[in-house]
């Protein structure tokens, strides 16, 4: 007998759940890419992507994951030897810095640890000393999926503007796009990168780079950019292959079309609101269960609505995750990054992914499975976390 049999719930912070509509749209034979209207369809998808990102900027689509999108953004605008500032707020900021080093960029790391959002004043202090404007870009992660902290991108823009510093503001919305509110133009991002497999509910394999005219001017001033990463042809395509620098990812596009339809039908503001309420229900449960479980980010104002990182003490993070997967059919995310000196492998941490195709019942079910695991494993907690979550959901 297993209580895990039946439809499993994937609560990973990416890849997220793929809706049946997305899967069904992908379930077809190879199209004739030379006679279909796929090229026109991509042009429409570009408009929908801009709607989601709240921007009039350009979008280049790559056959890549988020790492590829990072590399594309930098390859079009920066050159080996250029300096970039990375105000890291967790594993993904540190990883982006690694990718930047791999491109020969000189990284100035401003590590914020794994429990705090970016501090605009610390960033101001660094940029103030850069009178020669050697820092060419600031690489900022909107939501760091490892720490689950959300940073204020508009505040970062204000710092750059106050100082008259010309560094490009590049933002990673790989975890947040389609889940947490993001406004590319109003908040002043020059470049924004995203991937298909988180808030956008499509399998991993598409990378998106949004860029404004300022960023594009930098591309145009560069003599050469690796052919595949060059975004120039991708924003003025005459043929489908130009969008993708080769054969189009046909089935990912079929899936993306279905996902964008779902997003348009719901409306991006409603999607942000749904994620916010469901995230609050997760926090209410964790706070109710109490010690040893604790939210990684203390201040609710800077918690992501797409993912929630939790500490529970080694090795119970791993034990609980294993139990809910094997006994209850729910897959949670593992703790990512060195959690503390006492827990370098983060076995005392785990993450609730709550991005994309999730709703009240799936969230309550996920929390119910965790509460059952706490009981089964004899981990101390105050019972009734699921009821606390239900109160949040009832208020809507
Ligand atoms: C998932 C993620 C990445 C990496 O994306 P891949 O598709 O795995 O390369 C980068 N940044 C953030 C914030 C992410 O959540």
Q: Give residue 338's pLDDT.
A: 73
Q: Show Cβ contacts of residue 385 under 8 Å, excluding neighbours closer than 6 positions.
A: 284, 285, 286, 288, 289, 367, 370, 371
The CA 224 to ligand 1 mean position distance, Å, reads 27
Cα–Cα distances in angstroms (integers) from residue 138 to residues 60, 127, 264, in the given order: 20, 10, 31
CA distance 198 to 59: 18
Nearest CA to ligand 1 atom 5: 66
Pocket of ligand 1 from Cβ distances under 6 Å? 14, 65-67, 92, 141, 143-145, 172, 174-175, 195, 204
Pairing of strands 191-195, 168-172: parallel
Q: Is 102 helix (H, G, I), strand (E, B) or coil?
A: helix
Q: Give residue 343's pLDDT.
A: 85
Q: Position of tokens 């229900």?
A: 281
Residues in the chain: 396
Nearest CA to ligand 1 atom 4: 66
CA distance 251 to 114: 37
Is residue 182 within 8 Å of 153, Cβ to Cβ?
yes
Which tens digit of pLDDT belongs to each residue from 110-130?
999 999 999 999 999 999 999
Show the low-confidence residues of the chain (pLDDT under 50): none
The minimum-distance atom of ligand 1 relative to the CA of 195 is 7
Which tens digit of pLDDT belongs to each residue from 278-306?
999 999 999 999 999 999 999 999 999 99
Q: Give residue 293's pLDDT.
A: 97
The CA 293 to ligand 1 mean position distance, Å, reads 26
Nearest CA to ligand 1 atom 12: 174
Q: Give residue 345's pLDDT.
A: 84
Helices (H), the chain: 20-26, 38-53, 66-77, 91-102, 120-128, 153-163, 184-187, 213-221, 232-235, 240-244, 250-266, 268-289, 316-328, 360-376, 385-395
- The 3 state secondary structure assigned to 281-340 is HHHHHHHHHCCCCEECCCCHHHECCCEEEEECCCCHHHHHHHHHHHHHCEEEEECCCCCE
Tokens of 234: 């991708």
CA distance 13 to 62: 21
């Amino acid at each position: 007998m297993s209580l895990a049999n039946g439809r499993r719930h994937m609560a990973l912070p990416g890849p997220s759940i793929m809706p049946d509509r997305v899967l069904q749209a992908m379930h077809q034979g190879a199209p004739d890419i030379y006679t279909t209207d796929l090229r026109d369809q991509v042009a429409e998808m570009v408009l929908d992507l801009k709607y989601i990102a709240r921007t009039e900027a350009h979008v280049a689509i790559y056959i890549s994951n988020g790492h590829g999108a990072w590399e594309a953004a930098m390859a079009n605008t920066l050159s080996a030897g250029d300096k970039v500032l990375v105000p890291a707020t967790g594993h993904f900021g540190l990883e982006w810095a690694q990718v930047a080093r791999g491109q020969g960029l000189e990284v100035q790391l401003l590590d914020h640890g794994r429990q705090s959002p970016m501090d605009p004043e610390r960033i101001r202090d660094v940029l103030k000393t850069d009178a020669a404007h050697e820092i060419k870009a600031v690489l900022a992660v909107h939501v760091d999926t490892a720490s689950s902290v959300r940073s204020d991108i508009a505040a970062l823009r204000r710092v750059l503007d106050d100082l008259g510093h010309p560094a490009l503001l590049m933002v990673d919305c790989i975890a947040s796009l389609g889940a947490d509110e993001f406004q590319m133009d109003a908040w002043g991002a020059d470049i924004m990168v995203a991937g298909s497999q988180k808030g956008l509910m499509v399998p991993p394999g598409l990378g998106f780079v949004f860029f404004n005219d300022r960023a594009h001017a930098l591309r145009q001033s560069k003599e050469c950019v690796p052919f595949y990463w060059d975004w120039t042809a991708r924003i003025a395509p005459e043929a489908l292959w130009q969008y993708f620098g080769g054969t189009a990812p046909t089935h990912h596009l079929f899936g993306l079309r279905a996902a964008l339809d779902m997003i348009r039908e719901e409306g991006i503001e409603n999607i942000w609101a749904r994620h916010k309420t469901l995230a609050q229900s997760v926090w209410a449960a964790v706070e109710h269960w109490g010690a040893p479980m604790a939210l990684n980010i203390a201040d609710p104002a800077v918690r992501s609505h797409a993912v929630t990182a939790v500490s529970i003490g080694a090795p119970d993070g791993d034990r609980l995750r294993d139990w809910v997967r094997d006994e209850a059919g729910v897959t949670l995310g593992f703790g990512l990054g060195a959690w503390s000196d006492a827990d370098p492998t983060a076995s005392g941490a785990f993450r609730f992914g709550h991005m994309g195709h999730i709703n009240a019942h799936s969230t309550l079910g996920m929390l119910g499975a965790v509460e059952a695991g706490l009981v089964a494993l004899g981990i101390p907690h105050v019972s009734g976390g699921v009821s606390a979550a239900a109160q949040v959901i009832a208020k809507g």
